[in-house]
Structure 1
Amino acid sequence: MQKENNEEQVTIRFAEQKDLSLILDLIKELAVYEKMLDEVVATEESLNENLFEKKMAEVIIGEYRNEPVAFALFFPNFSTFLGKPGLYLEDVYVKPEMRGIGIGRKLFTFLANLTRERNYGRLEWVCLDWNKPSIQFYKKMGAIPMDDWRTFSMQGNALENLADKF
């Protein structure tokens, strides 16, 4: 696919049920990029249940000349200090060959506008510390790294073991 440096060719849309295989493919591409493919256990069925039936999260698709080349998955969180919801961006991915033409910026602009439209207090996400190009991109947009904070996660056996102690 030949690309032009023209953001006019980029469109952002909400994903639909018919996009399930596309969403899963993009998730797997992201996982390959992050060297975490072995951690992907999502299926079209689990995505359908949680995205479209239970509406636990939303997905937007970035297209270049009507070809899907990017996605972002997000959901609301809540800030106790602000006393209002925020938008948490779980994953954002632009195919490597499509980077540098404004697709990422359009995804974030769309999400910033959605955050404002919904009267949410902030848009936030995490980034792997080795992903220097993304960190530079985020800073260039005006994002502020929260270096004093550490992200913690619990899943699998650790989660089960703690839950069993209740």
Structure 2
Amino acid sequence: MDRRHRWNGFQRLWFAAHFHQPLLMESPMQIRPAHLNDMAALLELVNMLFDAEHELVFDAEKSRRGFELMLAPSDDRLVLVAEVDGVVQGLCTGQMLISTAMGTPSLWVEDVIVRPEMRGRGIMPQLLGALEKWAIEKGASRVQLLCDMENELGLGFYPKMGYAKMQMVGFQKVF
């Protein structure tokens, strides 16, 4: 039996880390729109995301209401999930806005998260890429998002996806 191409988990992880290649998926991944029956997984993932973002505090009821609004029929918002073996492993949400600077629709990306044990397998680029493709089909000329200044993974990931750091500072007012 030829074992040259049968790498164990450690070998694949080492190769991916040293050559910045996504790990091969053991099972096929499906990128699809989220459904209300995904709610438990969506809440679990967004809780993980909020743990990494210091300004946000997870409130299951508020997040549930938010996802119910995001999942209501609309042409201007989309929640995508990555599913492997029937388990939701990541999510990415986006909403269309109008940019007066560009004179076109613009995509606002809100939530981006992949389960820690599934990172490095190419899930996030595929999720974000699918969301960007949807936005382009809707006429968007740009995409924007916020990233926590202490989120080292995000700060390293987004430039690799072609995102440029902006000089603007985000502000919010909560009602």
Same-fold call, TM cutoff 0.5: yes
Deviation at 1:152, TM superposition (A): 0.7
Q: Which residue of 2 aligns with 1:117?
A: 137
CA distance in 1, matches of 2:87, 2:142: 30
With the length of structure 1 as denominator, give the TM-score of the two structures: 0.80
Instruction: Find runs of 4+ consecutive structure 1 residues off by over 4 angstroms.
Output: none
Rounded Cα–Cα distance in structure 2 between residues aligned with 1:37 and 1:83: 32
How far apart are 1:39 and its partner, in Å? Answer: 4.4
Match of 2:35 among 10, 13, 16: 16
Q: Displacement of 1:66 after TM fit?
A: 3.2
Q: Give 1:44 shift.
A: 3.1
Q: Partners in 1 of 2:64 and 2:153 — Cα distance?
A: 30
Q: 2:107 aligns with which of 79, 83, 87?
A: 87
Identity of aligned residues (%): 26
Q: Is the Cα–Cα contact under 8 Å of residues 104 and 141 in structure 2 kept in the other structure?
A: yes
Are the counterparts in 2 of residues 78 and 85 from structure 1 also a CA contact under 8 Å?
yes
Aligned equivalent of 1:129: 149
Are the equivalent residues in 1 in contact too, given 2:71–2:79 (CA < 8 A)? no
Q: CA offsets per residue over residues 52-96 of structure 1, 9 Å max, x none? A: 347474311112333211011211111102111111001100111
The aligned runs of 1:97-108 (5 Å cut-off) are 97-108=117-128
Kept after mapping to 2: 8 A contact 1:28/1:37: no
1:162 aligns with: none
Letter in 2 for 1:38: V
TM-score normalised by the chain length of structure 2: 0.76
1:155 aligns with 2:174: yes
1:6 aligns with 2:24: yes
Contact 2:94 2:110 in 1 (8 A): yes
- CA 1:36/1:95 → structure 2, altered by over 3 Å: closer, same or farther? farther
Q: Which residue of structure 1 aligns with residue 47 of structure 2?
A: 28
Aligned length: 153
Alignment root-mean-square deviation, CA: 2.5
The equivalent residue for 2:94 is 74
- Of residues 30, 38, 52, the one that matches 2:71 is 52
- Aligned with 2:158: secondary structure? helix
> Residues 142 and 44 (structure 1 numbering): CA distance in 2 closer, same or farther, change over 3 Å?
closer
Query: How far apart in 1 are the matches of 2:77 and 2:129?
Result: 18
